[in-house]
C-alpha cells in the first residue's frame, strides 16, 4: 500500500503548473498559438534573416491543455500512454511532468533537464537528465532514454548519448542528415518562467516544403 501511495503521489510542481480552465487559460493558449504561427512565418519566410521568440511556461501549459489537444496534435507527438504534459522553466533547467497510464494504474512522471546549445556544432541541442521520478519514487531512466531516442528518430532528429558526471546526456541533432541545413539555431536561453529561442533561416523554400507536411516521415 505504501508503494502504491508513493507511485500515485502527484508532485506539487505538477499541480502548480496547471492553468485553471477559463478565459485566462484560453487567452494564454491563443497567445502561444499566435507566437507559434509567428515563429513558423519567421522561419519559413525570411531569407538569411534572424528570427527570435519568447514563450512563457504559463502560455505553453495553457496551449498544451487546449489547442494541443483540440487539434489532435497530441496524438501525433506524444508517445503512447503519455497525456496531460506540463512544464516549468527555471533559470538553469526545464522541469517536465506528465501523466503516464490511465485510471488507478496511472502515475505522474517528472523529468528535470538541463538544456543548452552545443558550441561548435550547428543545430545540436544537449539535454542532460538530472532527475527522473514516478510519483515520489526515483526510477530507472533507461525506459525514458529509449523513448526519447525512438521519438526523436521517428521525427528525423539524430540522437547520440554520453554521460557527464554519471548523468545521461542526449545530443539532439536537428537536420543532421542534410548537407545544407535549412535553418540554424543561434540561441536557446532559459530564464525563470520563460524560454528564448533565436535562429536564422538559410533555405526558406526547402524549409517551407518540410513545414507543410512535418509528419510525412511518420506515414508508411
User: pTM for the complete prediction?
Assistant: 0.79
Q: Total structural domains in the chain?
A: 1
69-73, 183-187, 194-198: least confident range: 183-187
In a domain, 218, yes or no: no
In a domain, 90, yes or no: yes
Picking from 182, 179, 178, 175, the residue whose alpha carbon sits closest to that of residue 202 is: 182
pLDDT, tens digit, for every residue of 74-114?
888 887 788 999 999 999 899 999 988 777 778 888 999 99
Domain extent for 116: 2-211
pLDDT at residue 143 above 60? yes
- How far does Cα 19 stand from its chain's mean position? 18
CA distance between the termini of the chain: 45
In a domain, 217, yes or no: no
In a domain, 45, yes or no: yes
In a domain, 219, yes or no: no
pLDDT, tens digit, for every residue of 103-117?
777 888 899 999 999
Amino acid at each position: 500500500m505504501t508503494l502504491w501511495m508513493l507511485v500515485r503521489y502527484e508532485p506539487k510542481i505538477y499541480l502548480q503548473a496547471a492553468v485553471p480552465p477559463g478565459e485566462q487559460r484560453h487567452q494564454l493558449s491563443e497567445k502561444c498559438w499566435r507566437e507559434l504561427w509567428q515563429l513558423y512565418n519567421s522561419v519559413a519566410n525570411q531569407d538569411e534573416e534572424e528570427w527570435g521568440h519568447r514563450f512563457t511556461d504559463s502560455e505553453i501549459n495553457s496551449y498544451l491543455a487546449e489547442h494541443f489537444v483540440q487539434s489532435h496534435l497530441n496524438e501525433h507527438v506524444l508517445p503512447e500512454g503519455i497525456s496531460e504534459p506540463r512544464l516549468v522553466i527555471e533559470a538553469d533547467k526545464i522541469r517536465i511532468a506528465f501523466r503516464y497510464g490511465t485510471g488507478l494504474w496511472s502515475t505522474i512522471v517528472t523529468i528535470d533537464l538541463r538544456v543548452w546549445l552545443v558550441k561548435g556544432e550547428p543545430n545540436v541541442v544537449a539535454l542532460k537528465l538530472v532527475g527522473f521520478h514516478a510519483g515520489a519514487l526515483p526510477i530507472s531512466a533507461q525506459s525514458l532514454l529509449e523513448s526519447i531516442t525512438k521519438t526523436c528518430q521517428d521525427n528525423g532528429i539524430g540522437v547520440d548519448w554520453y554521460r557527464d558526471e554519471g548523468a545521461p546526456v542526449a545530443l539532439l541533432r536537428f537536420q543532421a542528415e542534410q548537407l545544407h541545413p535549412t535553418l540554424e539555431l543561434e540561441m536557446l536561453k532559459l530564464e525563470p518562467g520563460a524560454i528564448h529561442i533565436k535562429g536564422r533561416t538559410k533555405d526558406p523554400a526547402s524549409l517551407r516544403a518540410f513545414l507543410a507536411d512535418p509528419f510525412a516521415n511518420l506515414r508508411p
